[in-house]
Amino acid sequence: MKKIFIIKTGILLLILQFLTSCEQSFDQPDIQNNPNAVTDVTVQTLLAGTMLGVSMLHEDTDVRIASMWAGELAGLSRAHQGFGQYIVSSQSFSWNILYPVASQARLIQVKADAVGDKWTKGVGQVLEALVIAKATALYGDVPYSQAFDENTYPTPVFDKQADVYQALQLTLDNAIQNLSAPVGLAFAQQDFLYKGDVAKWKAAANTLKARLYLHTADYSNAIASAAKGIQSQSGDMLIPHGTSLAVDQNQNYDFFRVNRAGDTGFDGAYLPKLMQSRIGSANSKTDETALYNHYFKTGIVAPGSLDPNTTDGAFMANSSHPILTYYENALIIAEAQARKNVPNEALVALNAVRAGLSGGYLNGATLSTAGRKYEPYTLADFSATGLANPTKASTVQQAMLYEIIAQRYIIFLMQYEAFNDYRRLAKAVPVVQLPIPLYVGSRRPQRFIYPQNEISTNPNVPAPLPDQFTNVSLF
């Protein structure tokens, strides 16, 4: 990570990078030494730019790779065909955006402290946690405790993944405390995610805590955090987009439709097969046809191809993209309660998501009324002969877990949390998994590979170097 930290100057480059949809802006190591860069920026400028960076990191190539490795998306051409076949190297990944964005989030906190602004500091802590949570989930052991002081730690140590998770929980606890302060400076003008609504940022912090507790199988704390998390659709953390080319378009649209049409698609992917099987099942309480059509459309790239719906669905130029949502929060409660074998509470949470889908809501969009049906389940629906037990699981707990896991998988399209789930579920007890097939070979990818720049400049990189089939310690 030597020389990649942006201390005061890089935010303008970050904004430029986002607006031009050019992922190469941070591919040079001496970015902080740019002699033409502005040497002082306000906390407001940092806040807006860092939110842009965090948003970009939730729609980038890494997310597409995670979606392919989770079986949701298929790599069909050029580099993405190789990614889809699990072919990657240390050159395939980069931290030249990820860690600078995290560094900007830390700098927000320093500047907020200087003026006694607890609210803005709390937002900076949530943004930091979002970035580092992505890093550790995908890579395992990563720098964190020494990551933001290049002068003292030019080659920071790699903290154990379990320690990073514990530290992130503390970061989020501090964020919640700061966001609970009675007064703070207004930041609505710079906040395109929540318009300065401190209560929504506080709820989002709790939902992120719940996500991390679910990863570590701490189900009681996951439930407790989610109970204080995002409680309605209006609390969703969504990245807004517009239709201006190379300015504010959804990055998925830019990739799927503009710059790399045909490189990826859904032909051969497991997600549409799963949804087709659910649509064709005997489950009379559910019809996911509208959601299927929202995700997929035939013949956009080529006749007969099953493509991302960039025409009138999830991946239009102005489609919002999720970071943290009410549905995820409720499904965390549902799964955690089911794993604790408290089926009634799990059912309440699952049905809350179904009620939202029944109303047609998903990530700020409204699904068609045609083919949209999500009637509330009862416990009897998960019995051995129940309509919501397609695998004929022997217990209500297992059947309910399968439905919750399937619903999470469907909701998480183009979110790296789907890849986290597919690895996490191999260890969670009782073991209930979706039958996601391998694209090639006999081994499933388990992690991202450390970037070559980090290998070349930081002697603390774990040795021997893990490949993409080596499990991270948590999963």
pLDDT in tens, the chain (475 residues): 544 333 333 444 444 444 333 333 333 333 333 333 334 688 988 999 999 999 999 999 999 999 999 999 999 999 999 999 999 999 999 999 999 999 999 999 999 999 999 999 999 999 999 999 999 999 999 999 999 999 999 999 999 999 999 999 999 999 999 999 999 999 999 999 999 999 999 999 999 999 999 999 999 999 999 999 999 999 999 999 999 988 899 999 999 999 999 999 999 999 999 999 999 999 999 999 999 999 999 999 999 999 999 999 999 999 999 999 999 999 999 999 999 999 999 999 999 999 999 999 999 999 999 999 999 999 999 999 999 999 999 999 999 999 999 999 999 999 999 999 999 999 999 999 999 999 999 999 999 999 999 999 999 999 999 999 999 999 9
CA gap 337, 20 in Å, rounded = 44
**Phi and psi of 186, rounded to 5°?**
-70, 145
| Beta-bridge mates of residue 324 | 237
CA gap 171, 382 in Å, rounded = 39
| Contact status, residue 171 vs residue 159, Cβ threshold 8 Å | no
| Contact status, residue 472 vs residue 446, Cβ threshold 8 Å | yes
CB burial of 25-61 (b: ≥16 within 10 Å; e: otherwise) equals bbeeeebbeeeebeeebebbbbbbbbbbbbbbbbbbb
Q: What is the pLDDT of residue 246?
A: 80
CA gap 379, 366 in Å, rounded = 29
CA gap 390, 376 in Å, rounded = 17
Q: What is the pTM of this model?
A: 0.93
3-state SS assignment for residue 202: helix
Tokens of 126: 């949530």
Q: What is the pLDDT of residue 247?
A: 86
- Please work out, in degrees rounded to the nearest 5, the angle formed at the alpha carbon of residue 292 by the alpha carbons of 286 and 294: 120
Q: What is the pLDDT of residue 40?
A: 67
For domain 11-245+318-457, give the CATH number. 1.25.40.390
Q: Is 11 exposed, middle or buried (0-12, 13-18, 19+ CB in 10 A)?
A: buried
Q: What is the pLDDT of residue 94?
A: 97
CA gap 201, 193 in Å, rounded = 9
